[in-house]
């Protein structure tokens, strides 16, 4: 497999998409804000390979797409993968809490922090909707892109009301 990347402008700022290219296409391994750490060794830029991801992200930010249908190849532990699959099931325009997600996964209350840690390790911002998980008191807990961007995404999806400025 061949590791490739591209940069994409978005309302959140510049995004860095990384993927694994195979004869079957490109599977997304990471989507993060480009203002983070640099690209890995051995990656090369290949914008056309991410055309479908770019199209879906553009449609999402334009309000025309509510569910991403992209191949993912993000690496994580078995537990992380389980949590990430549960994130994929949180409907557009809704939120859930860390505790409710843990309960749905059958994780004991005492281990809710492990669910939070798995969510925090999600390498696929926006397309795997970790931004839809909030504190039990409605607070906007951590988000790798920053809490302000989390609020912007939830407002965009209609889960939060726009703030009056």
Which residues are tagged catalytic? 130
Q: Which residues fall within 8 angstroms of residue 48, CB to CB, at 6 or more apart?
A: none
- The tally of CA atoms less than 13 A away on the side-chain side of residue 59 is 13
H-state helical runs in the chain: 51-61, 78-88, 98-105, 112-120, 147-156
Beta bridge partners of 32: 16
The Cα–Cα gap between 36 and 143 comes to: 13
């Amino acid at each position: 497999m061949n590791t490739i990347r591209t940069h994409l402008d978005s309302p959140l700022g510049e995004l860095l998409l990384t993927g694994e290219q195979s004869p079957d296409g490109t599977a997304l391994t990471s989507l993060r804000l480009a203002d983070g750490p640099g690209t890995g060794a051995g990656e090369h830029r290949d914008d056309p390979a991410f055309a479908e991801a770019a199209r879906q992200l553009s449609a999402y930010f334009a309000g025309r797409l509510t569910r991403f249908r992209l191949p993912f190849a993000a690496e994580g532990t078995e537990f992380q993968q389980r949590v990430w699959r549960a994130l994929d099931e949180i409907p557009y325009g809704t939120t859930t809490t860390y505790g409710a997600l843990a309960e749905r996964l059958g994780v004991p209350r005492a281990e809710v922090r492990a669910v939070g840690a798995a969510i925090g390790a999600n390498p696929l911002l926006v397309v795997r909707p970790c931004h839809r998980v909030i504190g039990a008191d409605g607070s906007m807990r951590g988000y790798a892109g920053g809490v302000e961007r989390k609020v912007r995404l939830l407002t965009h999806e209609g889960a939060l009301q726009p703030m009056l400025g």
